[in-house]
Amino acid sequence: MTIPAFGLGTFRLKDDVVIASVKTALELGYRAVDTAQIYENEAAVGQAIEESGVARSELFITTKIWIENLSKEKLIPSLKESLRKLRTDYVDLTLIHWPSSNDAVPVAEFMQALLEAKKEGLTRNIGVSNFTIDLMQQAIDAVGAENIATNQIELSPYLHNRKVVDWAHEHNIHITSYMTLAYGKALKDEVIRRIAQKYNATPAQVILAWAMKLGYAVIPSSTKRENLQSNLRSQTLMLDEEDMMAITELDCNDRLVSPEGLAPLWD
C-alpha cells in the first residue's frame, strides 16, 4: 500500500468552509483527503465528497481516532460513526490521533482494536500520529511493523524530527508530515523566498516539494482556490541538492504543536 504523496488537510476547517475547500480541491484534481474525529468536520467532508461526484474508488480518505475512543470497547463503534458521517463503507487509512494520556489505554489495546477494524473491512490501512520512538516500538510489538502504514508527525523546515524519521524508516514505517508550512511562518523565511525566486515558484511550493523529495506525504490545507491550485504544482517542482541542504540548515527544533496533557515526551 502506498500512501499518496500529496493530499488535502482539513484541520480547523468546518461547515461550509470545509465543504467549499474539499469540493474545490477535488475539482482541481486532489484525490486524498485527511480529516479526524476531533476536527468535528467528518460529516461536512462526507457531504462535500458526495456532492463532488468523484467516484469513491478514486479517493483516499484518512480519519483519526480521538483519545476518548481509544479503548477496545469504543474504538470500532467510533470508527463506524465516522464512516456514517463520511458517507462511506470504509476509509483508506485510520490513524491513532494521539497516544493515550498517561497511558490510560495501553498501546497494545488500541492498536489491536485498530487491527481488528482493518480485518472487519472498516479501514484498508492503519497507522499512528504523534508517536515517539518508544510508542512506535510498542505499536510494532502489538501489531507488527507491516501493519503500520504511516506515522503522521509535525514536520517543517524548522522541525525536521530526524530521530523519529530515521527510526521509522529503519522499520519501514512511512512518514506523513503535518504543519509542513509551520503555520505559515516558513513562508516568510528569506532562505525559502530566495529558493522560490530561483524556481519562479511560491514559498509553499518549495516547502512542500522539499518534504516530498525526502519521501514524506504532505497534506496542506487552504480555503482559497488559487492556493489549492498552486500547492498542487509542488508535485512537479524538483529542488537541487544545494537548495535541499539550505532548507536542512533551517532546522531549529521549533515545535509548534505540543498540547499539554496530550503530547508525549518528545524525542
Residue in 30, 39, 158, 216 annotated catalytic: 39
**CB under 8 Å to 237, separation ≥6 — which residues?**
199, 201, 205, 206, 209
Residues linked to residue 175 through DSSP beta bridges, in sequence order: 151
**From CA 228, how far away is CA 223, in angstroms rounded?**
8
CB atoms within 10 A of CB 193: 15
* Torsional sign, CA 216, 219, 220, 224: positive
30 is catalytic: no
User: Which residue stretches of the chain are H helix?
Assistant: 15-28, 42-52, 75-86, 107-119, 133-143, 162-170, 190-199, 203-213, 225-232, 241-248
Check: CB of residue 147 under 8 Å from CB of residue 126.
yes
Cell of 235: 508535485
Cell of 102: 498517561
- Has 97 been labeled as part of a binding site? yes
- Exposed, middle or buried by CB within 10 Å (0-12, 13-18, 19+), for 16? exposed
**Which residue ranges make up the annotated binding site for substrate?**
97
Catalytic residues: 39
Query: Which residues are documented as binding site?
Result: 97
